[in-house]
């Protein structure tokens, strides 16, 4: 059974949702029968990469507020992440357009490394404060998960995997995805957002059961 996950690596709830889904998957007795496919989605395609500007300052400027206000707004998200064993350092996170990161994910998917790419990109963005729109950084991430560094740099120098990213985004619009994370189970059920692990487990069980009845 396939589970498709539309996600954006700059979406804080997507990383949290990944952990909650993984917790459910660990409890699912047929987890070895589950194929996971990560799909591309951009929360804000118009984002301009701004190395040197952190998320707190970026949001404060966009909303015409103080940096302290922005820190306070993010506090609950930081705690939610902490509850899932994740460390969010918004003071280090670099504002970056995620399109090239999605191209890397698409490349990784071709070699069965989509989940590893997603995981390391999340960590690079939210925890390590790396610029996930920088070609050398993306090449290092690719190399860390098992891709050829030179091949990643060559891919990024052209428009390879651009169509794949755009097709994922178009399909998301077609099926009515309005936000991410968005989980689709065997094209039977869907869960939107970082829901409790119990909700993921219940849906896994229901979708799997129905898939075996066909």
pLDDT at res. 1: 95
Rounded to a whole number of angstroms, the CA Rg of the chain reads 17
C-alpha closest to that of 15 among 114, 94, 127: 127
Question: If we measure between CA atoms, which residue out of 141, 124, 107 comes closest to residue 38?
Answer: 107
Band (214; pLDDT cuts 50, 70, 90): low
Q: Per residue in 83-110, pLDDT tens?
A: 999 999 999 999 999 999 999 999 999 9
Taking the CA atoms of residue 49, residue 172, residue 140 and residue 111 in that order, the dihedral angle to the nearest 10 degrees is: -160
pLDDT digits (tens, 9 = 90+) for 41-61: 999 999 999 998 889 999 999
pLDDT at residue 187 is higher than 70: yes
Cross-strand partners of 210:
none
Whole-prediction pTM: 0.95
């Amino acid at each position: 059974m396939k589970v498709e996950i539309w996600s954006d690596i700059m979406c804080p709830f997507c990383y949290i949702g990944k952990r909650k889904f993984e917790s459910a998957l660990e409890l699912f007795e047929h987890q070895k029968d589950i194929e996971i496919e990560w799909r591309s989605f951009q929360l804000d395609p118009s984002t301009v990469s701004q190395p040197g500007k952190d998320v707190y300052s970026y949001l404060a400027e966009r909303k015409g507020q103080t940096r302290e206000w922005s820190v306070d707004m993010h506090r609950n998200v930081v705690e939610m992440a902490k509850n899932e064993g994740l460390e969010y350092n918004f003071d280090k996170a670099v504002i970056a357009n995620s399109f090239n990161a999605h191209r890397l994910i698409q490349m990784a998917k071709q070699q069965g490394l989509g989940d590893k790419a997603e995981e390391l990109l999340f960590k690079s963005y939210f925890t390590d404060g790396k610029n996930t729109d920088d070609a050398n950084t993306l090449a290092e991430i690719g190399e860390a998960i098992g891709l050829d560094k030179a091949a990643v740099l060559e891919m990024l120098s052209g428009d390879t995997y651009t169509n794949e990213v755009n097709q994922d985004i178009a399909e998301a619009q077609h099926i009515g995805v309005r936000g991410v994370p968005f989980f689709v189970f065997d094209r039977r059920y869907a869960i939107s957002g970082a829901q409790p692990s119990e909700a993921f487990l219940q849906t896994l069980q229901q979708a799997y059961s129905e898939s075996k009845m066909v």
